[in-house]
Amino acid sequence: NYELVYVLHESQTYFAFHKDTPDEYVSKIQQGIDIIKENNKLNQIIDSYR
């Protein structure tokens, strides 16, 4: 087990896609992110890594 001693830097996470990625794919990813943000699951996932 490890103990968090000091956080060097916190930042937001971004996704990048190839310019030829279909808009439908990007929209589905965004929909999934929106869902897990709405039901607080995103925060639970992030907190599990802190």
pLDDT given at position 2: 79
Residue 47, token pair as written in the block: 């907190």
Over residues 34-46, the pLDDT tens digits come to 999 999 998 898 8
Q: Which residue has the tokens 């929106």?
A: 34
List, for residues 6-42, the tens digit of each pLDDT value: 777 777 778 889 999 999 999 999 999 899 999 999 8
Is residue 1 over pLDDT 90? no
What pLDDT, on a 0 to 100 scale, did the predictor assign at position 5?
Answer: 74
Radius of gyration of the chain (CA): 15
d(CA 50, CA 40) in angstroms, rounded, equals: 16
Instruction: Provide the residue ranges of all domains of the chain, joining segments of one domain with +.
Output: 19-50
Q: What is the pTM of this model?
A: 0.61
Return the SS3 of 19: coil
What average pLDDT does the structure give for the chain?
A: 87
